[in-house]
Amino acid sequence: MNSNLSTKYMLFQKIDKPFYRKKRSIQLSGRLIMLDQPVVMGIMNLTPDSFYDGGRYQTEKAVLQRGEEILEQGGLMIDIGAVSTRPGASDVSLEEEINRLLPAARTIRKNFPDAILSVDTFRADVAERIVGETGDCIINDISGGTLDGKMFETAARLRVPYVLMHLQGTPRTMQKNPSYRDVVKEILLDLSEKVNTLKLLGVNDIIVDPGFGFGKNPDHNYELLNRLDSFRLFELPLLAGLSRKAMIWKLLGVTPEDSLNGTTVLNTLALMGGADILRVHDVRQAVETVRLVSELKK
């Protein structure tokens, strides 16, 4: 472990809570998006093989209906993705990813011009193509820049918000015995280096995501959730993606379809731990959870 990073971590640990001043907004196309209260990002998977809702949104009509549903139920952001990152998922070429994303992005832009669009991709060329043809959007990179060396520079050049997520390994290898000495400390140190790199490149709007389920076993995931408030040291917006994940349904002995209640419980804990954005399949329930927890925190 880098001794300077270790020292930096210990210094962070000594700072009292009142000294933290989390960034409460991001900018997109000159629009100030306030995060004084947590917000909900609705998932729209454009893949045929996602673990929960694969194949549901592969027509323009389905995309339109899902976009309308997310917004009507109180979601602030629409996150579209065209590559399944579940363990064992099939590879998708760059061309196929673009062919899935572009029509959906255009449909959303045309019908919901004020919607905040997020594009779930780890490929810099895909991000650049979508932004270039449909306008500014959030780049939601599950790899934190590790799967495409051009991603950080691309995000800086496009001047759009960037979701920096932690991933150990690759989508193909991430669940093959993930190992940490201290999962929270190691993720904090990894992300701190990347946050510094992004800031030096001029990326002004960074959203941090600890990456639940991405290169973590159930114990790692619950340790992350239990210590989620550790991520306040970045003073950046924090995204939590827990919706219907295996850490819920495997523990309860159910299926992803039966994991809404468990998702709501974990989303509640994430909000209590400082999450600013909940990335979810079930928007209405997440919006209600935000309202209840926000009332509790007053």
* Residues with catalytic roles: 245, 279
Stretch (H or E) spanning 250: helix 246-252
* Secondary-structure breakdown of the chain: helix, strand, coil percentages, each rounded to the nearest 5: 45, 15, 40
Cα dihedral sign, 269-274-280-284: positive
| Rounded Cα gap, residues 139 and 154, in angstroms | 10
Output the six-digit token pair for 76. Answer: 């602030």
Q: Cα 174 to chain center, whole Å?
A: 17
Q: What is the DSSP letter of 75?
A: -
For tokens 């306040």, the residue is 232
| Rounded Cα gap, residues 166 and 203, in angstroms | 17
Output the six-digit token pair for 37. Answer: 């209260």
